[in-house]
Chain A
Amino acid sequence: MSRVLTIAGKELRTYLVSPMAWVVATVFLGISGLLFYNIITWYSMQSFQLMRMPQMGGHVNINRMVFQPTFQNMAVTLLLLVPIVTMRLLAEEKRNRTAQLLFTSPVRLGEIVAGKFLAAVALLGGMLLVTVYMPLLVWAYGTMDWGPIFSGYLGMLLLIGAFVAMGLFASSLTENQIIAAVLTFGILLVFWLLGWAAELGGDFAKVFEHLSIITHLEGFLKGVVEVKDVVYYVSVAAFGLFLTHRVLESNRWR
């Protein structure tokens, strides 16, 4: 375990001393902040209008009208940014030949994979944590329910885990960071689009719906933590990490 933390710590440090992580964080927080501002503005206009119709008061729900779309926007932004964060994890080590240090040290492959995974999740989790200012702001000036916020953050963290595992897998396949990023983006987008395919109906609609990375987020955003959703994200992450481990092992034999 200590070696997992050693690797994770070093990776995290590498992130933080490179401008890349800061650019990604800035873009993520900038975009999600901007969209949050738009939603809040729209929400307050709606509330003013609805105030004139007392019978409609029950339909104004700040959790549903503000935080649900905000989390969804963050998820889309992450879809674009996670590949940038994960692309270097293994590709860079292979390109710079530093993989030789890692693979000739008395460290198990699993420990390497786990360390890299944790580092990227920690970085993205840190970015996510900064967005807590949004509910705090609303809480300071209005009334809201913290339950769906907590479950929303839990869902986002699980989503990040699944994204990072896929990114790590793509990074294990190549020495080229750009290829790793594009591949990750492709994989994530396909998982995303499965949700749209599900909406179109057809024989496999139910299968697509269960596979889609976005439909499983909905429950969390409504404040419902369902076992099937948690299992989905955990198993996607575990599958990605397993594939990464297999690729690293098979690379040795070539």
Chain B
Amino acid sequence: MIQAENLTKYYGDVRALDGVSFHVDQGEIVGLLGPNGAGKTTAMKILTCFMPPTSGTARVAGHDIFEEPLKVKRNVGYLPEEPPVYPELTVQEYLSYAGRLKGLGGVDLKRAMGLAMEKCGVDHVARRLIGNLSKGYRQRVGLAQALLHNPPVLILDEPTVGLDPVQILEIRTLIKDLAQEHTVILSTHIMQEVEAVCGRVIIINEGRIVAVDTADNLRTQMGTSRRILIRVARPSPDLVQKLMALDGVLDVEAEDDGRVRIESQLDRDTREDVARVAVESGVGLLELTGVAVSLEEVFLKLTTEDVDHNVDTAFDAAEGTA
């Protein structure tokens, strides 16, 4: 549905994107994840034909962004970081304007407006001025605008920013529902959002893609160890000894309240052995959980690695001259 090839974008001398290539298949929800200034918004602006890349190209819904920008725009719904709403218009007027810009009219426009307002939960503020709405509602009106012409591709730049927790859950559910008929790219720097919504994650840092995979795969690949947490009724030092003796276990840490944290080698699943040992030693196993490395850790690792590397080389260089 979306193929980006070698997208590079310079703002003056500043490089915002550097040879970014990725593809998104129909019906996928892909998360663009990265720290501020990583190039997420730039990539989205290029895919929506807001601006062309310095080099490279992309195809969206089968149309080239250089050859057929109008066709690309017709097939894309875009929610920018800041919802592009006019404060002097009412929600209804705004959506009617946006719909007509997108080529809707008459009965189709009415139906599309009704549907989009209902989906985004703005139907009860339809007659209010957008300028008087809260940030959360404006965000939803912006989202309604993106959905309005029922485009096959949705590009959402931080869709849940400024919403309250209930609204965030609503919007996430909405996005998941949308994925049945639409292809969605959304950018975010909220990890839970990626885990909750996205099938695949593209992690960008300093204009480059540092990882593309599912959230689960990223966690297993990037983690250095597996972590198992057990809880026993009667903790004993004996248990720790026995656990340490297990093949593949690296470290065991027991706490007073009966919780024991076990670090094991990444390529070994020691849960079965741990359970057996705990039961056999009669300490009363209450709970056993495999704790995954969080995506935060993966993200931090991926996005700070380069920096460490740079620091190292700078250090080496300094030593060399000394």
User: Which A positions have Cβ atoms within 8 angstroms of B?
Assistant: 2-3, 6-7, 10, 13-14, 17-18, 96-108, 252-254
Are A97 and B73 in contact, with the CB atoms below 8 A?
no
Are B50 and A104 in contact, with the CB atoms below 8 A?
yes
Residues of B within 8 A of A254 (CB): 11-12, 51
Residues of A within 8 A of B51 (CB): 252-254
Are B88 and A104 in contact, with the CB atoms below 8 A?
no
**Which applies to chain A's interface (DSSP): helix, strand, loop or mixed?**
helix
Residues of A within 8 A of B89 (CB): 10, 13-14
Are B80 and A14 in contact, with the CB atoms below 8 A?
no
Q: Say if the beta carbon of B187 comes within 8 Å of chain A.
A: no
Q: Say if the beta carbon of B34 comes within 8 Å of chain A.
A: no
Closest to B53 in A: A253
Are B102 and A106 in contact, with the CB atoms below 8 A?
yes
Kindly state the separation between the CA atoms of A101 and B143 in the bound complex, as whole angstroms: 12
**17 A-B residue pairings within 8 Å (CB atoms):** A6-B101, A10-B89, A10-B97, A13-B93, A17-B88, A18-B88, A98-B85, A100-B50, A102-B101, A104-B48, A104-B73, A105-B98, A105-B101, A106-B71, A106-B74, A107-B73, A253-B51
Q: How large is the interface on B (under 10, 10 to 19, 20 to 34, 35 or more residues)?
A: 20 to 34
Closest to A15 in B: B88
B89 smallest CB distance to A (angstroms): 8
A196 smallest CB distance to B (angstroms): 40
Are A105 and B105 in contact, with the CB atoms below 8 A?
no
Q: Mark B88-111, 1 if CB is under 8 A from A, else 0.
A: 110001000110111101000000
A22 smallest CB distance to B (angstroms): 14
Given A252-B50, A253-B52, does the pair A3, B100 have CB atoms closer than 8 Å?
Answer: yes
**Which applies to chain B's interface (DSSP): helix, strand, loop or mixed?**
loop
Are B145 and A101 in contact, with the CB atoms below 8 A?
yes
Kindly state the separation between the CA atoms of A100 and B80 in the bound complex, as whole angstroms: 7
Kindly state the separation between the CA atoms of A81 and B313 in the bound complex, as whole angstroms: 62
User: Which B positions have Cβ atoms within 8 angstroms of A?
Assistant: 11-12, 48-52, 70-71, 73-74, 76, 78, 80, 82, 84-89, 93, 97-98, 100-103, 105, 145
Contact of A14 among B49, B50, B82, B88 (CB under 8 A): B88
Closest to B47 in A: A104
A88 smallest CB distance to B (angstroms): 11
A121 smallest CB distance to B (angstroms): 20
Contact of B80 among A3, A6, A97, A106 (CB under 8 A): A97
Closest to A103 in B: B50
Contact of A101 among B49, B52, B76, B98 (CB under 8 A): B98
Kindly state the separation between the CA atoms of A17 and B78 in the bound complex, as whole angstroms: 27
Contact of B76 among A96, A102, A104 (CB under 8 A): A104
